[in-house]
Amino acid sequence: MGRVGIGYDAHRLVTGRKLVLGGVVIPSEKGLLGHSDGDVLLHAIADALLGAAGERDIGHFFPNSDPRWEGASSLIFLEEVRELLKRAGWVVENLDASLIAEAPKIGPYLEAMRAAIGRALGIELTRIGIKATTNEGMGFPGRGEGMAAMAVASLEKA
């Protein structure tokens, strides 16, 4: 029988930071603030995978206090999660994530994101769903103060 997990994350948008979403650098005047690259989408996905495995969250494994993760690509987090799942005997059945952001349009980058995530986790692209929506101008994503992401993941025993 499989397991499911859920992940949620939010980061503030600030000037002077690269915007990295789903492991892909996207041209933008603002980027997401964070100890790592602030990749809100990958953080939500990592938490969904960890949750499905019954593990603690991303902040436990990759704490802000650890200089190793300063400015780190969040793809490294997914690679670490992949190893952790492998050791515990789990394989990823599928994952699905939604980005909540007013701008920019990420449609042109979706396939590159899926490819980056697939490489980091070692899974086929058909197991990876990535979507984006605006918040219709409401709340912090709507005002462009930040971005949020939600993800679910399903694991099976290897």
Positive/negative CA dihedral, 31, 35, 40, 41: positive
Indicate the residue whose CB is closest to Zn ion.
43
**Contact pick of 30, 43, 114, 127 for Zn ion (by CB under 5 A):** 43
Is 126 assigned a ligand-binding role in the annotation? no
Positive/negative CA dihedral, 47, 84, 22, 98: negative
What character string, x for contact with Zn ion (CB under 5 A) and - otherwise, covers 105-124?
--------------------
Q: Which listed range, 43-51, 60-68, 101-109, 131-139, lies at the site for Zn ion (CB under 5 A)?
A: 43-51
Residues 6+ apart with CB under 8 A from 87: none
Closest to 84 measured CA to CA, from 62, 53, 59: 53
Is 135 assigned a ligand-binding role in the annotation? yes
Is 65 assigned a ligand-binding role in the annotation? yes
Q: Which is nearer to Zn ion, 63 or 89 (CB)?
A: 63
Q: List strand residue ranges (DSSP E) for 16-120, in order.
A: 19-21, 24-26, 30-32, 90-100
Closest distance between Zn ion and the C-beta of residue 74, in Å?
A: 8
Q: What part of residues 2-31 is at the interface with Zn ion (CB under 5 A)? A: 9
Closest distance between Zn ion and the C-beta of residue 2, in Å?
A: 26
Q: Which is nearer to Zn ion, 43 or 82 (CB)?
A: 43
Helix ranges (H only) for 53-136 are: 58-61, 75-87, 110-121
- Under the binding rule (CB under 5 A), the answer on residue 47 touching Zn ion is no
Is 133 assigned a ligand-binding role in the annotation? yes
Answer whether the bond into residue 141 is a cis peptide, omega within 30°. Answer: no
**Do residues 43 and 58 lie in contact, with contact meaning Cβ atoms separated by under 8 Å?**
yes
Q: Pairing mode, if any, of strands 128-133 and 30-32?
A: unpaired
Could you list the residues known to form a binding site, using ranges. Answer: 9-11, 35-36, 43, 57-59, 62-66, 133-136, 140, 143
Could you list the residues known to form a binding site for a divalent metal cation, using ranges. Answer: 9, 11, 43
Contact set with Zn ion (CB under 5 A):
9, 43
